[in-house]
Amino acid sequence: MHKIWLIIKREYLVRVRKKSFIIMTILGPILMAALLIVPTFLATQTQEERIIALNEDVNYILEDSEFIHFTTIPTSEAELLKTDFSESPFYALLYLEGENFTLYSNQQISLSVSKSIERQLEQLIEHEKLKLLGIDLQMLEDASTEINITTKIISEDGFTSNSQAEASMGIGFISGILIYMFIFMYGTMVMRGVIEEKTSRIVEVIISSVKPFQLMMGKILGVALVGLTQFVLWIIITIIISTVAELAFLDANVMVTEMNSSDQSVILAQVAEFTGGINLLQIFLAFIFYFLAGYLMYSALFAAVGSAVDTEADTQQFVLPITIPIILSFVLITPIMENPDGTLAFWMSMIPFTSPVIMMVRLPFGVANWELSLSIGILITSFIATTWLAGRIYRTGILMYGKKATYKEIWKWLKY
């Protein structure tokens, strides 16, 4: 155990001291925030006011919006615009010929502009037709009804709590994506580390002091600690960034220091209501478990692949069968969220190669305790079995050089 701890310590310190680790730890949350915020910000900043000219035959009063303004021009001027927009202050010309509307412009008309005009015209023409039929528009407006259905979840104890499908889908999707990313990211990190040590012949010196299985486990656990460290730091940095952003963009008339306790309690109540019926503590603990157990199982297989090849280019034939289940679970996230209690969802959350992602997708929607316990038990058993099998491949493959491994060769290594 002492030797495994030394390997864990070495793997951890070597990786966390790298500049790439420090840079990605700091830039990761910033890049994710930028990916979500910048496109929206740029979309609002790049909007410009556009003036749409209407010829006199357009007898409909179109309402101006924030960026679109309408003005009526004489038919003679409209006829000139149809052929020459070079010195026109207008973005486009809406021309009515008979019953057909046409937009003229000297540039490609924005889809949002054309759709906005279409919606207004459709509504105006529809109202005009209803009036001609003798239908009172005010009666139609009074008859329109909006219903908000509140959903409640009844627990086994008979207690009811609010349910928000949007919150469950959001938490499930984010949890599944994070598990998928971490397994791939840190699993391949283990594989590359094994290949580097094998090709540089450093492993021959290390094997003289420790057993191959100890080396494999030390490397896997060391990288797992690196992943947990980076994940915790990402959470802390994300909280700091969100707090700073909230302070920076908060309305000047409402300072944080002036928020009274009632305002804060209202916000907390809204958050509690939005996540009502979702056991956040259970989801957090399950996320930690499935992240570690899924990573440990897959990284053991990645380590076995790394030990069986001499270059990263040779890993493709062995990596593909390993990654197909995890990729499949990623593809099935949306169908699972649509029917989290279905047969497909149940079995995918039991199969150990897909359960880390699928069970995290299902948990926010509510999963029976026996299903969660069974999934955890199967995953732990599978982790032990795959680690044992990977260790048998690793102990032989780590010292094999100059010969491309085949599935037949690896089968022999398992039986040694």
**Six token digits for residue 262:** 């009632």
Count CB-CB contacts under 10 A for residue 173: 17
Give 377-408 pLDDT, tens digit per residue.
999 998 888 888 888 887 777 777 666 777 78
Q: What is the pLDDT of residue 238?
A: 77
Band (101; pLDDT cuts 50, 70, 90): confident
**Six token digits for residue 128:** 């005009």
DSSP 250: S
Give 332-350 pLDDT, tens digit per residue.
888 888 888 888 989 999 9
CB 256 within 8 A of CB 48: no
Give 177-193 pLDDT, tens digit per residue.
888 888 888 888 888 87
| pLDDT average, residue stretch 273-296 | 78
50-141: CATH topology is: D-Maltodextrin-Binding Protein; domain 2 (3.40.190)
| Per-residue buried b or exposed e for 230-261, using 16+ beta carbons within 10 Å of the residue's own CB | bbebbeebeeeeeeeeeeeeeeeeeeeeeeee
Count CB-CB contacts under 10 A for residue 132: 8
The structural domains of the chain, with segments of one domain joined by +, span: 50-141, 163-415
Residue 9 has pLDDT above 50, yes or no: yes
Distance of CA 110 to the CA centre of its chain: 29
- The CA–CA distances, whole Å, from 269 to 163, 272, 276 equal 14, 5, 10
Look at residue 382 and give its three-state secondary structure: helix
Give 252-284 pLDDT, tens digit per residue.
444 444 444 444 444 444 545 545 557 778 888
